Amino acid sequence: MSGTTDDRWDTDLSSGEVKRLDPAGKHSRTATSFRRKVELLEQYGRFGVALEHIDAIPTDRAKLRRWHDPGSKLWQWSDPVIDLPGGRNGNLVTRFYEALKTIRKRRGDTRVEIAVELEAQKQIIANLERQNFSLLDRIAQLELRVGTQPIVTR
């Protein structure tokens, strides 16, 4: 592409400047950036991740879209259809998730899995708390009906 077309799209642009790009430039910007991001993540999986880049690794599609690194010519996009699994770029989405798995295995990183597991456990705890409150309320209602006083332990 370089040299044969206007490649001003491949620079750090504001969102207003991106909107003023011609359709081919917008497409090239997004497609090239998506491919670069996935290829960089694949490299991280093969060779490891430098400590200064660990926190920049996107862990989901929204973070992948927002990943912006002018030094590596990684540009952000806002349209979630671009990185939709099973969509036009489904192969890149698949490669993205595979690269993340490889990076986690290489680093022995279970932070993401732990975060997901903790979130599920928080939901279970919240549901159990709701059930406990409901049961306590039902007990109190029954005690009122039969005229007994709640048992209080000290």
Q: Is the pLDDT of residue 1 over 50?
A: no
50 or 32: which carries more pLDDT confidence?
32
Q: Which of 1-10, 78-87, 90-99, 123-132 has the lowest mean pLDDT?
A: 1-10
Q: Please write the tens of the pLDDT for every residue from 66-81.
A: 999 999 999 999 999 9
Q: Shortest CA distance to 44 belongs to which of 115, 90, 94, 105?
A: 105
Kindly report the number of other CB atoms within 10 A of residue 40's CB atom: 19
DSSP state of 16: H
In whole angstroms, how far apart are CA 34 and each of 105, 130, 135?
A: 23, 44, 52
CA 37 – CA 26 distance, rounded (Å): 16
The more confidently predicted of residues 74 and 7 is 74
- Integer-rounded Cα radius of gyration of the chain: 25
pLDDT at 52: 79
Domain regions of the chain by residue span: 1-108, 110-154
For residues 109 and 54, is the Cβ–Cβ distance under 8 A? no
Predicted confidence (pLDDT) per residue in 106-149, tens digit:
877 556 566 657 777 888 998 899 999 999 999 989 888 888 76
pLDDT mean over 90-118: 81
SS3 (DSSP) at 5: strand
Residue 13 identity (one-letter amino acid): L
* The overall pTM is greater than 0.75: no
